[in-house]
Amino acid sequence: MYAFGNEIYDTIGKTDLMQYQRFKKYNPNAKFVMKNLTEAKPPAGYNYHVKGVSRTEILIEERDGDAPTRGGSSFLVRSDAVSIQICHYDDFFNGTYIVHCPLPECTCRNISVWLMYYNFTAYSGNHYPVRKLLWRRRSCNLHKGEARLSLSHRADLHSPTNAENMVTWYLKNKQWVATSLTGKEYTEMSKLALCGCVKNIRKLFCIGASHMRFKCDYIMSQCYDMPADIPIQHKALTVGNIHYLSVSRMFKFPKLWDTYLKNETLDRRDVVIIQTGAHDMAKSSMQYTMDVSVVTLVRALGLLQTKSEKLGFRLLYVTTTPFPENDRRGTKGNRTNFALAAYNRKLKADLLSKKVNVFDEFGVLLPQQDINYPCGCHYLCRATKNKSSYIIGKVGMIAASMMLRNNVC
């Protein structure tokens, strides 16, 4: 979401969700089949014309032979300067796309447009992206503050935390630092601040697969001595007042809650944080994930939110993180960033309708999707060295700190 002139735009993930809906319409019998991935290479007749129509907008025209297409292509548009942005685009489903790429600062930057998928193949699974560079230009913002979200626009946002969850990443002292659209800078929380926050909680429950497990490990390692012999892929762990429970798929969450936590005594001093979805996208079709798994999870979290309002404990859902573009080791199924954007958009909207608080970690981390990670597809992980545990992943630590600052502390 951003402001341009006097208008507020919210295109993050919107096109992806609309593309998924078109994909389902045009491919009603599409099925997920586990097989070796192939490149989503467009036919020879596909061609693209890209041009900048202003300093902040880019027009993409797509044709199949001599005729416009019905849309469905997915692009990665990246802005590089002293900051990194991932720019968002609208698909008009007539072969026309408009990229919105507001400049976050008064400077010059390089903008690159890559074709990643064509004709809705981002949602069909079993495809590597094309990664074809279509356009690269240098653009300059000559007017300080142009196309930035002003404080007067904050009242128009859907929730008071939205402006804080949308960030631009800046390279500062050789470290990436996230800055919100309101100018607030997010760094890794100090050990004192993090533990002061966490130890004011009576019980902190972290529920999810590996992304949540590593966030929980990070919090535990800051506040307590982590035993070195704990397996990296542990399924359940309690250290101090922090409890981690593993759940890999959305449809498994209700059973996990009934089995382990249904009779747990919770009150206003407790916090429950949940993050899942990556395994669903790797092992299920888009249609099953969107129309079955999401519905199951939203129903369960809606009931839990009702219980939260009654008992006073805080409930938070964290969106699934983007998949690093440079890591193909775990790429399978529909786990592309374009499919993840569609899934996260739908889940976020459905949960907000149930009044469930959502931290959009996907949107926070998306500009950092091409950083080299020492731990596969994770932005934060626990490594072992000399029989001691330590956490790596500065960008992941900043995102985890944002999650705590904005929603827990």
Same domain as 238, residue 99: no
Quote the tokens at residue 83: 């900051």
Among residues of the chain, what percentage have pLDDT more than 70? 83
170 is a domain residue: no
Residue 44's contacts (CB-CB under 8 Å, 6 or more residues apart) are: none
Quote the tokens at residue 255: 């059973």
Same domain as 241, residue 321: yes
pLDDT of residue 149: 35
pLDDT tens digits, residue range 27-38?
A: 777 665 555 677
What is the chain's mean pLDDT, rounded? 82
pLDDT score of 94 more than 70: yes
Cα 95 from Cα 141, distance rounded (Å): 29
Could you say which DSSP state residue 143 is in? S
Under the banding of pLDDT at 50, 70 and 90, the label for residue 88 is confident
Any alpha helices (H) in 69-177, and if so which ranges? Answer: 162-165
Q: Best-predicted range by mean pLDDT among 16-20, 127-131, 332-336? A: 16-20
Number of structural domains found in the chain: 2
Same domain as 123, residue 194: no
Same domain as 75, residue 12: yes
Cα 15 from Cα 76, distance rounded (Å): 13
181 is a domain residue: no
Same domain as 125, residue 273: no
Contact at 8 Å (CB) between 195 and 206? no
pTM above 0.95, yes or no: no
Same domain as 103, residue 246: no
Cα 276 from Cα 292, distance rounded (Å): 14
CATH classification of the domain holding 269: 3.40.50.1110
Same domain as 120, residue 221: no
CATH classification of the domain holding 48: 2.60.40
Backbone region of residue 93 per phi and psi (left: phi > 0; alpha: psi in -120 to 50; beta: other values): left
Quote the tokens at residue 171: 């390279």
174 is a domain residue: no
Cα 32 from Cα 49, distance rounded (Å): 32
343 is a domain residue: yes
Under the banding of pLDDT at 50, 70 and 90, the label for residue 117 is very high
Let me know if 235 is exposed, middle or buried by CB neighbors in 10 A (0-12, 13-18, 19+): exposed
pLDDT of residue 30: 67
State the sign of the Cα–Cα–Cα–Cα dihedral 19, 25, 31, 36: negative
pLDDT of residue 5: 37
**Mean predicted confidence (pLDDT) in 246-260:** 91
Beta bridge partners of 87: 77
pLDDT score of 193 more than 80: yes
| Among 141-150, 204-213, 214-223, the least confident range | 141-150
pLDDT tens digits, residue range 137-159?
A: 887 765 544 444 333 333 333 33
pLDDT of residue 179: 84
Q: Which of 308, 311, 288, 312 is nearest to 300 (CA)?
A: 308
214 is a domain residue: yes
pLDDT of residue 183: 75
State the sign of the Cα–Cα–Cα–Cα dihedral 301, 305, 306, 308: positive
Residue 379's contacts (CB-CB under 8 Å, 6 or more residues apart) are: 211, 321, 324, 365, 368, 373, 393, 395, 396, 399
pLDDT of residue 404: 93
pLDDT score of 318 more than 70: yes
pLDDT tens digits, residue range 345-392?
A: 899 889 989 999 999 999 899 888 877 666 778 888 877 655 456 788
**Mean predicted confidence (pLDDT) in 290-305:** 93
Q: Which of 68, 42, 67, 62 is nearest to 50 (CA)?
A: 62
Under the banding of pLDDT at 50, 70 and 90, the label for residue 330 is low
The domain containing residue 343 runs over which residues? 187-407
Q: Which of 223, 205, 224 is nearest to 213 (CA)?
A: 205
Q: How remote is the C-alpha of 14 from its chain's centroid?
A: 13
Let me know if 353 is exposed, middle or buried by CB neighbors in 10 A (0-12, 13-18, 19+): exposed
pLDDT of residue 355: 92
169 is a domain residue: no
Same domain as 299, residue 375: yes
Of residues 227 and 158, more confidence is placed in 227
Same domain as 298, residue 201: yes
Domain end (from 140, 155, 179): 140
**Mean predicted confidence (pLDDT) in 167-184:** 82
Q: Which of 129, 119, 126, 127 is nearest to 27 (CA)?
A: 119
| Among 79-88, 206-215, 307-316, 370-379, the least confident range | 370-379
Same domain as 120, residue 194: no
Same domain as 191, residue 135: no
pLDDT of residue 130: 87
251 is a domain residue: yes
Cα 140 from Cα 137, distance rounded (Å): 10
Same domain as 291, residue 380: yes
Cα 161 from Cα 407, distance rounded (Å): 9
pLDDT of residue 157: 34
Contact at 8 Å (CB) between 273 and 212? yes
Of residues 307 and 174, more confidence is placed in 307
347 is a domain residue: yes
Coil/strand/helix, residue 77: strand
